[in-house]
């Protein structure tokens, strides 16, 4: 009995009866319908039977609870009304005594959770970024690989990958995934020499890789500079143009801008352009004079600013003279000392202040005018005041170089006396300006250092200190000395040492860059210091390497170009500031030039030629760089033109106008390509360089290597045909030459063409044509009397022909065996045995088998 009290139905018997009824009454549709209804009823009843089983299980559970003395109905009610009431200990940990501590723990847990989630988000973002970078690099490498293995075809356009975009990349950010990329520089490699050559298209409109800001302006200046005379030309004012290129660039909150750097360099190089490179002393004097003039003009502008700020106190007047400007400046600076002597008789003596300020501002005539009113006697001789005026005039006329001879000795002795005269110092305050003027005129560096110790605040800025030190420098490298009485050591005679430019540079290099740049806040200020002290290579190195100048990598490249243009980079051996000795100017320019390889080959050529010139300008260096440019950019038509080295020459002719030199450079590039297994490029360059024999030598080897594969693979027939076509063009370029080397290459080319036809005919089974081509190969004997002569002549065969000798012998032996020519085949086998170094054992065995088959 089931759970419902009904008798169970034997469904299997019922289904069996239904099946029998269907088999017996299959013709009646009504019976079929009844059977379907019975099956549906059976499924419903089985579902009810399953639920009845679940009820049976619940009844058994109730019996078990009753056996244990539990009332199932009350237990169900208790569970439905159960309520969980946690205690204080359940909520708070044992070590937590108060609600505040519990909340603190909750806060810490929330903070830790937030930190963990942030770390997970950061890690996920970093992994996504690295995946995108790797995908981008993989795409670039894949594109570069496809470009490198793409066959040369005039119908195939090669599209190089994007620019590397390094630290100095001048390009705008690349397009995002999904956006249309900008066009790349497209071009087709050149065909054979005999065919008409069309140059590559116009330079690229860079699209999303366009130059921006100063990079574009600098590039225009470089193009104009190279057009005006190349890297060594002096007829173009490059430094002025570079300054104009960044005139409208802001520098954020920094006061020292790149424009100021170019302005400083313009003042330095202003007097160098007309001087020959060999006149080193004159060039150094011109550079030092330019540095001093810049600092003097800067001080004059400072005095004008101070006077303009304190107009009432300065009392400058309507149309002041230069001496009036100095007086007005001193009225402001010395306002706490009362009336001055030039305003009120008996006032504070400012004679030496005015002389120093006039010298500092470059007002030499005014300094001599003030010197005529000097009250104290500066030397033991009479008429000293007039002597000082004359000495100032002589100092100015001599290019502001320290005076020598007796005048310099007396001035140095007077400076020394002022430093040692303690009694005078007790009567009057120590006049630092007076001692400095004497040290300045005599070039007395030890006296200047002593003044610096007496008055540490005398040089308030680095510009003041640099101006004074530059005025002490003697540009000539001679170790001359001046003897004078009353040396600082107290002896009766002393020696005035010469202060050289290298001494100044070594002193400045004792301090780090942060000492001159306000702790790194004004990095370009240190560049100005390096330029003013003629440490040009150090300035370039500082801009190109230091972390503080990472925003000026572009400027470092063009600063190096400008300095090389004026020929001042390698003038001074002591120029090692900021690691200047280690910076390679040529490599710096070359690294920047590589940014334009794929996007703008014409601009890349400009920088590549500048880099080659900075590396020495030798044919080998130009060849190496030109090879890289040609192979990477594929811009043969634009760079080389269509007329070869002796013809138009393309854009390269502008940098190497001499056809002979251009031919040597292209030949060097071709040798580099051949050594790097870039045979296509080597052939083209040899043809452009007017060296068809070298081109034919490469084509002979290529034809020799492709002859056997092409015989069995018809798909390589086009490759062999292209090689033969270019070989014909090279042979035609040699014309009716009588040079033995030319004739040897041309003979080898003809033999290889016959060998190629012979091997192709042998692969087709055309033995008649094989024997015809065999007759065109004089180095293979078929007559007995020629055996020894041909065997001895194998050593003089062209290497490309000798490489195919085993294949030729096998093809000839097969044709002779098929024709039943046993005697000739015997001669061929004897020839193979006479040259064992050329024929392998396997080939020799095949020849013997063919001979045996004929016998």
Quick one: tokens of 3?
A: 């759970």
Is residue 171 within 8 Å of 165, Cβ to Cβ?
yes
- Alpha-carbon distance 174 to 164, whole Å? 11
What's the confidence (pLDDT) of residue 97?
62
Residue range 276-302, pLDDT digits in tens: 777 788 888 889 999 999 999 999 999
pLDDT at 526 over 80: yes
Pick 643 or 443 by higher pLDDT: 443
What's the confidence (pLDDT) of residue 253?
58
Identify the top-confidence range among 166-180, 217-231, 485-499, 609-623: 609-623
Residue 815 half-sphere exposure toward CB, CA atoms < 13 A: 26
Reported confidence tier of residue 14, pLDDT bands at 50, 70, 90: low
In 3-state terms the chain splits into helix, strand, coil percentages (rounded to 5) of: 65, 0, 35
What's the confidence (pLDDT) of residue 645?
43
What's the confidence (pLDDT) of residue 728?
92
* Average confidence (pLDDT) over 14-18: 56
Reported confidence tier of residue 89, pLDDT bands at 50, 70, 90: low
Residue range 44-58, pLDDT digits in tens: 766 665 554 556 777
What's the confidence (pLDDT) of residue 279?
78
Check the CA dihedral 615-617-623-625 and report its sign: positive
Residue 809: in which H helix or E strand, if any? helix 805-818
* Average confidence (pLDDT) over 434-457: 85
Pick 172 or 617 by higher pLDDT: 617
What's the confidence (pLDDT) of residue 660?
84
Is residue 771 within 8 Å of 819, Cβ to Cβ?
yes
Pairing of β 493-496 and β 482-485? antiparallel
Reported confidence tier of residue 15, pLDDT bands at 50, 70, 90: low
What's the confidence (pLDDT) of residue 429?
54
What's the confidence (pLDDT) of residue 261?
93
What's the confidence (pLDDT) of residue 264?
93
What's the confidence (pLDDT) of residue 753?
92
What's the confidence (pLDDT) of residue 489?
39
Of the listed ranges 53-57, 594-598, 684-688, the one predicted with least confidence = 53-57
Residue range 623-673, pLDDT digits in tens: 888 888 888 888 877 887 754 444 455 788 888 888 888 888 888 888 888
Quick one: tokens of 539?
A: 């300035």
Spatial CB neighbours of 554, under 8 Å, sequence gap ≥ 6: 168, 170, 214, 215, 218, 592
What's the confidence (pLDDT) of residue 10?
61
Of the listed ranges 352-356, 414-418, 640-644, 730-734, the one predicted with least confidence = 640-644
Reported confidence tier of residue 263, pLDDT bands at 50, 70, 90: very high
Reported confidence tier of residue 579, pLDDT bands at 50, 70, 90: low
Give the number of residues written for the chain.
855
CA proximity to 367, closest of 400, 336, 335, 318: 400
Please report, for residues 214, 306, 404, 466, 665, the alpha-carbon distance to residue 437 in angstroms, rounded to integers and kept in the order given: 44, 23, 15, 15, 58
- Alpha-carbon distance 756 to 762, whole Å? 10
What's the confidence (pLDDT) of residue 482?
47
* Average confidence (pLDDT) over 249-254: 62
The CB-based long-range contact list for 491-498 (8 Å cut-off, 24+ gap) reads 494/416, 496/408, 496/409, 496/412, 496/442, 496/443, 496/444, 497/445, 497/446, 498/443, 498/474
What's the confidence (pLDDT) of residue 46?
65
- 3-class state of residue 185 by DSSP: coil
Reported confidence tier of residue 208, pLDDT bands at 50, 70, 90: very low
Burial of 827: CB neighbours in 10 Å, binned 0-12, 13-18, 19+: buried
- Alpha-carbon distance 177 to 132, whole Å? 10
Of the listed ranges 79-88, 177-186, 401-410, the one predicted with least confidence = 177-186
pLDDT at 498 over 50: yes
Is residue 613 within 8 Å of 564, Cβ to Cβ?
yes
Spatial CB neighbours of 498, under 8 Å, sequence gap ≥ 6: 443, 474, 478, 479, 480, 481
Please state, rounded to an integer, the average pLDDT across all residues of the chain. 77
Identify the top-confidence range among 465-479, 659-673, 709-723, 774-788: 774-788
What's the confidence (pLDDT) of residue 610?
92
Is residue 398 within 8 Å of 429, Cβ to Cβ?
no
- Alpha-carbon distance 499 to 501, whole Å? 7
* Average confidence (pLDDT) over 328-339: 86
Radius of gyration of the chain (CA): 48
């Amino acid at each position: 009995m089931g759970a419902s009290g009904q008798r169970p139905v034997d469904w299997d018997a019922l289904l069996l009866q239904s099946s029998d009824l269907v088999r017996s009454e299959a013709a009646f549709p009504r019976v079929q319908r009844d059977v379907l209804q019975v099956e549906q009823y059976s499924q419903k009843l089985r579902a009810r039977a399953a639920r009845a089983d679940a009820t049976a299980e619940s009844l058994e559970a109730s019996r078990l609870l009753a056996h244990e003395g539990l009332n199932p109905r009350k237990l169900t009610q208790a569970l439905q009304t159960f309520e969980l009431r946690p205690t204080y200990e359940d909520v708070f940990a044992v070590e937590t005594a108060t609600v505040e501590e519990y909340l603190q723990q909750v806060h810490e847990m929330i903070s830790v959770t937030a930190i963990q989630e942030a770390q997970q988000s950061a890690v996920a973002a970093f992994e996504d970024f690295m995946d995108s970078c790797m995908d981008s690099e993989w795409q670039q490498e894949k594109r570069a690989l496809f470009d490198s293995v793409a066959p040369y075809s005039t119908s195939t356009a090669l599209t190089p990958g994007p620019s590397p975009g390094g630290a100095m990349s001048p390009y705008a950010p690349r397009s995002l995934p999904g956006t249309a990329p900008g066009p790349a520089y497209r071009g087709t490699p050149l065909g054979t020499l005999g065919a008409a050559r069309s140059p590559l298209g116009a330079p690229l409109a860079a699209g999303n890789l366009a130059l921006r800001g100063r990079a574009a302006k600098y590039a225009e200046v470089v193009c104009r500079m190279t057009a005006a005379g190349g890297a060594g030309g002096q007829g173009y004012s490059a430094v002025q143009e570079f300054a104009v290129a960044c005139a409208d660039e802001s520098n954020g909150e920094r006061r020292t801008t790149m424009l100021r750097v170019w302005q400083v360099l313009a003042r330095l190089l202003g007097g160098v352009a007309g001087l020959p490179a060999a006149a080193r002393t004159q060039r150094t004097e011109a550079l030092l004079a330019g540095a001093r003039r810049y600092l003097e003009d800067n001080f004059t502008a400072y005095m004008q600013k101070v006077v303009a700020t304190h107009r009432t106190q300065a009392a400058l007047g309507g149309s002041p003279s230069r001496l009036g400007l100095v007086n007005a400046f001193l009225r402001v600076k010395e306002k706490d000392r009362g009336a001055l002597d030039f305003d009120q008789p008996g006032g504070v003596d400012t004679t030496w202040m005015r002389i120093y300020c006039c010298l500092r501002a470059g007002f030499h005539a005014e300094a001599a005018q003030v010197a005529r009113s000097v009250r104290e006697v500066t030397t033991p001789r009479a008429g000293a005041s007039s002597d000082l005026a004359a000495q100032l005039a002589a100092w100015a006329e001599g290019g502001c170089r320290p005076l020598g001879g007796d005048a310099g000795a007396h001035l140095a002795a007077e400076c020394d006396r002022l430093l040692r005269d303690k009694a005078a110092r007790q009567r009057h305050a120590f006049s630092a300006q007076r001692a400095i003027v004497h040290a300045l005129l005599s070039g007395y560096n030890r006296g200047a250092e002593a003044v610096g110790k007496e008055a540490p605040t005398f040089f308030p800025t680095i510009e003041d200190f640099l101006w004074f030190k530059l005025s002490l420098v003697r540009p000539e490298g001679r170790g001359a000395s001046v003897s004078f009485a009353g040396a600082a050591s107290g002896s009766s005679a002393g020696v005035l040492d010469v202060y050289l430019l290298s001494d100044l540079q070594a002193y400045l290099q004792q301090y780090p860059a942060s000492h001159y740049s306000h702790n790194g806040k004004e990095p370009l200020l240190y560049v100005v210091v390096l330029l003013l002290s003629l440490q040009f290579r150090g300035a370039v190195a500082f801009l190109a390497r230091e972390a503080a100048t990472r925003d000026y990598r572009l400027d470092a490249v063009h600063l190096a170009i400008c300095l090389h243009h004026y020929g001042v980079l390698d003038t001074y051996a002591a120029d090692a500031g900021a690691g200047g000795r280690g910076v390679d100017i040529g490599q710096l320019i070359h690294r920047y030039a590589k940014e334009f390889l794929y996007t703008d080959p014409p601009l890349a050529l400009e920088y590549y030629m500048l880099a080659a010139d900075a590396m020495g300008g030798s044919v080998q260096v130009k060849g190496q760089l030109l090879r890289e440019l040609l192979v990477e950019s594929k811009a043969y038509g634009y760079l080389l033109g269509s007329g070869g080295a002796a013809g138009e020459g393309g854009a390269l002719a502008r940098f190497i106008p001499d056809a002979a030199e251009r031919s040597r450079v292209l030949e060097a590039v071709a040798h580099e390509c051949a050594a790097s297994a870039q045979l296509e490029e080597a052939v083209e360059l040899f043809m452009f360089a007017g060296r068809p024999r070298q081109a034919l030598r490469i084509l002979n080897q290529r034809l020799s290597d492709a002859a056997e594969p092409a015989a069995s693979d018809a798909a390589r027939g086009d490759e062999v045909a292209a090689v033969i076509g270019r070989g014909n063009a090279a042979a035609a370029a040699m014309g009716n030459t009588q040079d033995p080397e030319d004739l040897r290459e041309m003979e080898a080319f003809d033999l290889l063409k016959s060998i190629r036809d012979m091997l192709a005919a042998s692969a087709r089974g055309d033995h008649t044509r094989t024997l015809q081509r065999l007759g065109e190969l004089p180095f293979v004997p078929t007559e007995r009397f020629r055996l020894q002569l041909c065997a001895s002549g194998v050593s003089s065969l062209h290497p490309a022909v000798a490489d195919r000798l085993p294949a030729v012998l096998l093809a000839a032996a097969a044709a002779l065996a098929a024709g039943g020519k046993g005697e000739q085949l015997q001669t061929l086998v004897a020839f193979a045995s006479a040259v064992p170094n050329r024929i392998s054992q396997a080939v020799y065995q095949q020849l013997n088998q063919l001979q045996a088959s004929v016998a």
